[in-house]
Structure 1
Amino acid sequence: MAGTTITGVGSGFDTQAIVKSLVDAERAPKQAQINLQSQKATTQLSSIGKIQAALDAFRGALASMGTDSSFTGLTGTSSDEKVATMTANQTAANGSFALIVNQLALPSKLSTATYAGGASTVVNSTDKATTLTITQSGKNFDLKVPAGATLQQVRDSINSTFGTSGLSANVLTDSTGSRLILTSTKGGVGSDLTMSGNSGIDTGYKVVDVPQNAKYTIDGIAAESTTNSISDAVSGVSIKLLALSPTVTANDKTPNPDRTALTISVSTSTTALKSGVKGFVDTYNALLKAMNAETKVTKDAAGNSIAATLTGDATMRTLQSAIRNEFNALSGNGTLKSLAQFGVTSDQDTGALSIDAKRWDKAVLTNAADLTSIFSGKTGLLARMTAATEVYAKPSTGILATRTASLSESLKDLIKDQTSLDERITTMQDSLTRKYTAMDTLVAQLRQQSSSILGTLNAISNSKNSDN
């Protein structure tokens, strides 16, 4: 079709406009169908994607709530957080303990000899690679030192190669030069680092710190740990040692001086309970808000109803119903078995949850422990909501994922339909162009013949008139 022009010179008709009208009339119905279906599939795909993301976030929050102490109301406190901090998880129980920190765990630390040329000193001046072997707990870490490598490059290579194994290297520089400092995240007795090999970097290295265990007492019972993070001393409690306990006598420098105990305690806090429930409410409302945005009928300025992309969608209705049913169901083994009894109510229009402060304070005063059984366990609210949304949220086989895949395929088919329509219309336009061009040429020829005949007749008529 490119380069073809219909002039209508012979016929006097605007044949180009005629062809365009015929082509447009042929294209319009199918094009309108493709445009409508494409727009519908695209908007639905976007809406389902938003709800999928909100549902994933909701389920992720449920999983986190199920592993922490959100609904136990238990809080861990330390009377001296400069010495030790603590947290209580869902398996903890109320209680307090006296803790004394006598020694902190330390990792092994080594220092190489000093290089007067600084960090840029070439540590392998040969034309061949050498090997630096770092050993810890019977395991060798062999580092290739290329020809011409500098101290800084060795440091960078150790960190990039063995960083995930707990080894760490730095370059320490002073007025005399630079040296490589090697340490490990693994501490405790028996975790000593050593260096060997044929690189020469190990020559003259010295031990800066000998690894040692943390030593502490809890209620007078002595214990040790290879790390300063202790999770097995008190059930459900994690303790982080930060400093030595202060000595009973100020500035006591004697070996093993008496030290002052701090108190670590686990207690039930209604404030923590309310914070946990509010976290659930906020998470629930965020999912509901995302779903409402894609399903609710709204009003414009004139008061006309405007349907959302997924208004009336059966999948959305069943998902919302599944979530609300689990929220309204009774659970737990306490006196109070629903959040509504703790003052958690839902808005009749939006479904959003809120906490009635007066009803909450009254219920939690005597029945705080009931909240744990409402939320926790295999039949608790968290587990039930997770199970109820599982069929929708599975990454590749869930209902939302399946619909997303189906809509994506529909869009691909519509692209093929558009290509087919374009090709058919192009063929039709080419055909009509040729036909109207031929028609116009024929009309021009007929006109020329007509003019020629008329000219001849006129000449004959004029000749006869002359003879008379």
Structure 2
Amino acid sequence: AVTVETADSLNGIRDKINAANAGVTATVIDNRLVITSNTTGAASTIDFVDDATTGVLKSLGILTATNTIKNQLVAAQDAAFTVNGLSITRSTNTIADVISGVTLTLKGTSATAVTLEVKNDTQTAVNKIKAFVDSYNALMEDIAAKLAYDSDTKTAGVLQGDRALTDLENQLRRKVSEIISTADPTLNALNLIGITTSGKEATLVVDETKLTETLNAGPDKVALLFGASSTNGNDGVATRMDSTVTLWTQAGTGFLAAKTDSLTDRIEDIEEQVEKMEERLSIREANLWRQFTALEEALTVMSAQSNWLAMQLGQMFGTGTSK
């Protein structure tokens, strides 16, 4: 409910209405208050209740003397249309539940029937498949770089020789090269739709012409090749890749999480070993300093004793002078 005072300006009334979150939006256009429902359909009629004492809504020209809307620009109503002779009404002009897989957007009325032709959006499918291939190639190239060893520069990738990453690389290669038995027998491998492997990194190459032709001829078969799902794990290419990547990257339980935990444990163990080694070295250093100090003290005593003995011997065997 919105309380309107006689002293309120149009802008003030507008702000009160909008602040009330009453399911409507108020605007001021050419010194006129326009109130629009936020929803569509016949059930979205706006109700006004005037104050019996002040009659402010009547004063503003919103209601008539009989409490009906005075200047209704557009009445709330449902969209009415016919599909194959069947009359249908909906509360919105965007309808997605009449024709399976099709969203209708009603723009206006027509005097004659409108023929609707539904075609597969082949180019969008091609673009999505190419995006999939690009993502796969980027991942495989990154893995190859981390596992590589350059014999010319004698430099190795940061994970060169890592068994886990090598295993992932091999798994991904198999996922895109295996036969998909749950797909159509005529299109059960990527090479049959124009996607082949190339180079030692086994990246994928798309023959866009062949892919487009295959999609035009059998879009459902291509969809099955990528998205097939089965209980025995023989899924489509994209489904397989999704399962594999999830298995490796899932937070907390994935292989990468386990690898990270293992490396963290190793780092902590090495740090502990370093601390113990530093402690032993500190003790060894202290011992050596004590030995060095003791040796210096012994040398000082021995030097003093040697000087004393030399003086005594000089006195005992010293020679006199003769004229």
TM-score of the superposed pair, with normalisation by structure 2 = 0.70
Q: Does 1:356 align with 2:207?
A: yes
In structure 2, what is the equivalent of residue 328 of structure 1?
Answer: 177
In structure 2, what is the equivalent of residue 217 of structure 1?
Answer: 81
Q: Which amino acid letter does the alignment assign opposite residue 170 of structure 2?
A: S
Percent identity for Structure 1 against Structure 2: 22
SS class of match (1:317): helix
Report Cα offsets for 1:34-92 as digits up to 9, x if no partner. Answer: xxxxxxxxxxxxxxxxxxxxxxxxxxxxxxxxxxxxxxxxxxxxxxxxxxxxxxxxxxx
User: CA 1:187/1:171 → structure 2, altered by over 3 Å: closer, same or farther?
Assistant: closer
Report Cα offsets for 1:357-402 as digits up to 9, x if no partner. Answer: 4543554454444212212231322223333444323322222211
Q: Distance in 2 between the 1:422 and 1:237 partners?
A: 71
In structure 2, what is the equivalent of residue 392 of structure 1?
Answer: 248
In structure 2, what is the equivalent of residue 410 of structure 1?
Answer: 266
Q: Equivalent of 1:280, from 111, 115, 132? A: 132
In structure 2, what is the equivalent of residue 23 of structure 1?
Answer: none
Aligned-residue offset at 1:268: 1.9
Q: Distance in 2 between the 1:328 and 1:432 partners?
A: 66
Q: Is the 8 A contact 2:248 2:256 kept in 1?
A: yes
Aligned-residue offset at 1:321: 2.6
Aligned-residue offset at 1:413: 1.4
Q: Distance in 1 between the 2:95 and 2:315 partners?
A: 124
In structure 1, what is the equivalent of residue 146 of structure 2?
Answer: 294
- Structure 1, gaps ≥5 residues long: 1-108, 120-150, 159-165, 197-202, 249-258
User: CA 1:366/1:266 → structure 2, altered by over 3 Å: closer, same or farther?
Assistant: closer
In structure 2, what is the equivalent of residue 465 of structure 1?
Answer: 320
Q: Does 1:230 align with 2:104?
A: no
Report Cα offsets for 1:167-196 as digits up to 9, x if no partner. Answer: 7899979999xx9x9998666555678999
Q: Which amino acid letter does the alignment assign opposite residue 320 of structure 2?
A: N
Q: Is the 8 A contact 2:79 2:93 kept in 1?
A: no
Q: Is the 8 A contact 1:167 1:182 kept in 2?
A: no
Larger Rg over CA atoms: 2
Instruction: Please state which structure has a larger fraction of its residues in strand.
Output: 1
Q: Which amino acid letter does the alignment assign opposite residue 203 of structure 2?
A: A
Q: Which amino acid letter does the alignment assign opposite residue 81 of structure 2?
A: T
Q: Is the 8 A contact 1:270 1:364 kept in 2?
A: yes
Q: Distance in 2 between the 1:442 and 1:373 partners?
A: 91
SS class of match (2:118): strand
User: CA 1:173/1:445 → structure 2, altered by over 3 Å: closer, same or farther?
Assistant: farther
Q: Which amino acid letter does the alignment assign opposite residue 330 of structure 1?
A: I
State how 1:113-152 maps to structure 2 within 5 Å: none
Q: Distance in 2 between the 1:400 and 1:192 partners?
A: 56
In structure 2, what is the equivalent of residue 450 of structure 1?
Answer: 306
Q: Is the 8 A contact 2:196 2:204 kept in 1?
A: yes
SS class of match (1:292): helix
Q: Equivalent of 2:221, from 370, 375, 378? A: 370
Q: Which amino acid letter does the alignment assign opposite residue 234 of structure 1?
A: I
User: CA 1:263/1:366 → structure 2, altered by over 3 Å: closer, same or farther?
Assistant: closer
Relative CO higher for 1 or 2, CA cutoff 8 Å, sep ≥ 6? 1
Q: Does 1:311 align with 2:160?
A: yes
In structure 2, what is the equivalent of residue 433 of structure 1?
Answer: 289
Q: Equivalent of 1:343, from 185, 189, 194? A: 194
Aligned-residue offset at 1:440: 0.4
With 311-320 and 371-380 compared, the bigger mean Cα shift is at 311-320
Q: Does 1:422 align with 2:271?
A: no
Q: Equivalent of 1:380, from 225, 236, 244? A: 236
User: CA 1:194/1:216 → structure 2, altered by over 3 Å: closer, same or farther?
Assistant: closer
- Structure 2, gaps ≥5 residues long: 50-54, 63-68, 230-234
- Aligned residue pairs total 291
TM-score of the superposed pair, with normalisation by structure 1 = 0.50
SS class of match (1:237): coil
